[in-house]
Amino acid sequence: MFTGAIPQHPVATTDKTFDELGLSAEVIEAVRAIGFVNPTPIQAAVIPIAVTGRDVIGLAQTGSGKTAAFVLPLAERLTHGKGVRGLILSPTREIALQTQAFLEVFGKGHGLTTACLIGGVRMKPQIDALRAEPDIVVATPGRLLDHVKRGNVKLDHVEELVLDEADHMLDLGFLPQMREVLRRLPRVRHTTMFSATMPDSIEMIAKEFMNEPARVDITPVGGAAEGISHRLYLVKLEDKRNCLLALLHQELGSTLVFVRRKIDAEWLFHILDRQGHPVTRIHADRSQGRRVEALDDFRSGSHRILVATDIAGRGIDIPGITHVINFDIPESTDDYVHRGGRTARGASEGVVSTIATWQDVPMVRQIEAVLGEKIPRCTVPGIEPWVESDRPAARTRRNRV
């Protein structure tokens, strides 16, 4: 389980100290207790602004230390015992649970209590948690609205709002639910929003629901994380599976395999399982319990391979993933960056291998434009590479999830 356990792996930090960021002694004590010595760039930039109560937009990805960047100001500004005054919207259950783990540690000094409202699990324990009058709710938008509509929770005293991975929430189709939640909140409040990218739809939300936000951008140039080697395997459609199997024999580290559709996650899982690979899978059709179990198995190393769809795979914070394989090319360049961000987390290094066919070449070119470099073409023994010509590639066929 994530709960109560903050993931800890190497991350690039600044030479600033937490004492310089405007945090109180109690909160700094909690930071020290878990062993954070210096703030990361996003923490150093966001915390001093957020503790003053000014709205902030942070452009940062998972792995940059952004969770603590919003949890610390929240822990600083809220005190225990006046009903739900902090609300954090997260795109996925996994990210919500990770956030709750941070809240439990950093909120201790002010006695802050948290309820986590995520879909796919029973309502009853969540209703019990709400009856205990938590100070902070961390929730995925759909489940939160369920509770609001049933009268289980009131949001009219929320003072602190965090929209985490806002672009990801939009990608998942949460815009209507997000708007509905935002409309129910008091107008006077403090809002912090994080996003890896700033598409127009996010600018729109910022304009409509935030108050002259300060903008902090620490995304690496080109949008891709450092420490990642990219490789491209151009093959015929019928060779994709054998290419994957060959890659899995070549690279023996902890490997995350991305597919586009839930049905393909199941299909690939069964193929790899039958071949004797220690594999598990995570996608939106699996129950919360099964998803947590799969992540635990992957994290502990008992299963070296995790097959995931984008929805389930984004935001996974597991140290030691050495290899990300795109079995299906991502639907967008943002997804490519996010998938790749699951490896080379913090200071370590990783490989992102993309298996692509001629139909994927237009997307490959877009990805290369974002990376600012051509991805090296690679081959695996026994599989004939598909050779690119200079003629314009045909349009990509899109399979929706």
Residues in contact with ligand AMP by CB under 6 A are: 6-9, 11, 13, 36, 39-40, 43, 62-68, 317
Q: Compare residues 41 and 213 and give the one whose CB is closer to ligand AMP.
A: 41
CA angle 17, 18, 22 (to 5 degrees): 120
Sequence-ordered strand ranges (E) for 311-401: 321-326, 350-356
**Amino acid, single-letter form, for residue 313:** G
The least distance separating ligand AMP from the CB of residue 8, rounded to whole angstroms, comes to 5
Round the CA-based radius of gyration of the chain to a whole number and report it.
Answer: 21
Closest distance between ligand AMP and the C-beta of residue 18, in Å?
A: 8
CB of 165 to ligand AMP, least distance (A): 10
On whether the CB atoms of residues 241 and 248 are closer than 8 A, the answer is no
Residue 44 vs 375, nearer CB to ligand AMP: 44
Nearest CB to ligand AMP, comparing residues 94 and 328: 94
In the bound complex, what is the minimum distance in angstroms from residue 346's beta carbon to ligand AMP? 6
As measured in angstroms, the least distance from the Cβ of 273 to ligand AMP is 30
Residue type present at position 375: I
As a whole number of angstroms, the distance between CA 387 and CA 249 comes to 24
| C-alpha–C-alpha distance, residues 125 and 290, integer Å | 18
Cβ distance to ligand AMP smaller for residue 34 or 394: 34
**Nearer to ligand AMP (CB atom), residue 316 or residue 361:** 316
Q: Is 40 left (phi over 0), alpha (psi -120 to 50) or beta?
A: beta
Residue 227 half-sphere exposure toward CB, CA atoms < 13 A: 20
In the complex with ligand AMP, the residue whose CB is nearer, 243 or 318, is 318
Please say whether the beta carbons of 383 and 235 come within 8 A. Answer: yes
Query: Which whole-number Å values give the CA distances from 259 to 236, 285, 321, in the listed order?
Result: 17, 14, 17
What's the min distance (Å) between Cβ of 251 and ligand AMP? 23
Q: At what angle do helices 240-250 and 262-274 cross, to 10 degrees?
A: 60
Nearer residue to ligand AMP within complex by CB, 57 or 182:
57
CB of 15 to ligand AMP, least distance (A): 12
